[in-house]
Amino acid sequence: MARIAFDLISPEKLLLSVEADMVTVPGTEGYMGVMAGHSPLVSTLRAGMIDVKVGSQDDRYFIRGGFAEISPAKITVLAEEAIPMTELDLAVLDQRIEDAQSDELSADNDLDRLKAAQLVDDLKLVRAAF
């Protein structure tokens, strides 16, 4: 099986650079799987998990949004924040869910309320993955 080059970059550093079998990213319109030969695409990303499959190994990272640039041979994710799931603190995640719920309740307009509700849903999906 052909592999695709994958770079995960946060504002602080390059977190991961591997040749992956498949990378799943949380696109704005939903999760999408990317393999070698994928059509070129640039997408915004929402909060969620990136799943990186290399052979039998499966690494997951929480991201808080960003961008993905996809070509047939490479995918680059520029994340606003990225944390390996093995290092994610559940208490911090639970606090983020509470904060997002509070933002949803106090939103001044429908657009802000919708964004906050989407963030709550995304964070709850990450929480359920533990």
In this predicted structure, the answer to whether residue 65 has a pLDDT above a threshold of 80 is yes
Q: How long a stretch of residues is the chain? A: 130
What's the pLDDT score for residue 122? 85
CA dist 84 and 61 (Å) reads: 4
pTM metric for this prediction: 0.81
In this predicted structure, the answer to whether residue 68 has a pLDDT above a threshold of 90 is yes
Higher pLDDT, 123 or 43: 43
CA dist 70 and 68 (Å) reads: 6
